[in-house]
Amino acid sequence: MEKEVVLQRLSYIKYLYFKGEEQARQAEVVAGFSILAFHDAIEMFLMLMYEHLDCGNDKNYKTIDDCQKNGLHPQHSANPNWVLRV
């Protein structure tokens, strides 16, 4: 995956997160919608991580560790702190 594409997607994820924070500080009616922005940001981040780990769209993996244990991205197996770099 190209670094430029990853950075664009991470930027959009960050935008959604900050939009959710901004909405959470608004009046109660608007604050309720902040959960949607947070949900979208988390979902997009997880999708990007799974693509980065070459897990593809396989829904059988419930956690990132499942993907890693099955050897789908061996370069991260030796480094337990790989997620900190994502």
Q: Which amino acid is present at 85? A: R
Provide the pLDDT for residue 30: 84
HSE (CB half, 13 Å, CA atoms) of 70?
A: 13
Q: What is the structure's pLDDT at 65?
A: 64
| Band of residue 25 on the pLDDT scale cut at 50, 70, 90 | very high
> Tens digits of per-residue pLDDT, 31-82?
989 999 999 999 999 889 888 877 755 555 556 566 656 555 545 555 555 4
pLDDT at 86 over 50: no
Gap between the Cα atoms of 26 and 59, Å rounded:
36
Global pTM?
0.66
